[in-house]
Amino acid sequence: MLTKNIETALNKQIRIEAESSQTYLAMACWAEVSGLEGIAQFMFTQSDEERAHMLKLIKYVNERGGHALVSELKAPTTTYGTFKEMFEALYKHEIFVSDSINELVHITFSEKDYATHNFLQWYVAEQIEEEATAKSILDKINLIGDDKGGLYLFDRDIQQAAITAAIPKV
């Protein structure tokens, strides 16, 4: 059984995951209309992944005797000056999500809710991966600089990464 404090904190994280999905969806739309098909596909895949993270939390809250809440979401940014600005925003957002997960883990530890603490370890590991991916992408973008040929290859490479990520892991 979840305490009210932990249920509230988990519902806050549900909202953050939902907003993350919307953020990636808005980035996908911007990339697609900007002719960056590979980046768009990557962002659509990321949006789906964030929604799956949200659903995993919802199921957990409901199964532990709480009530998962679907709340109003903050509208995401819908345009960017450059694809680099978009990925910088993505990286900052992933750091924000990591901080939120870490705070949630801290609350569960403080309240001695070890089941929820254990459940959240998957999110901790996932955020390490998400931040590393975002940082790696930014590093590649910085290598490309203003090279249009490099952007074309980057767009194709990230599209391939999105296709690979969409293949179910066995």
Interval 8-52: pLDDT, tens = 999 999 999 999 999 999 999 999 999 999 999 999 999 999 999
**Which tokens sit at 138?**
């930014």
The answer to whether 63 is a known ligand-binding residue is no
The answer on whether 106 is annotated among ligand-binding residues is no
CATH number at residue 72: 1.20.1260.10
Q: Containing domain of residue 143, as a range?
A: 4-166
CB 3 within 8 A of CB 113: yes
49 annotated as belonging to a binding site for a ligand: no
Instruction: Note the pTM of the prediction, 2 decimals.
Output: 0.91
Q: Is 53 annotated as a binding residue?
A: yes
More confident residue, 170 or 159: 159
Type of residue found at 132: A
Q: How many domains does the chain have?
A: 1
Give me the count of residues in the chain: 170
pLDDT of residue 78: 97
Backbone angles phi, psi at 146, to 5 degrees: -100, 15
Q: Is position 127 annotated in a ligand binding site?
A: yes
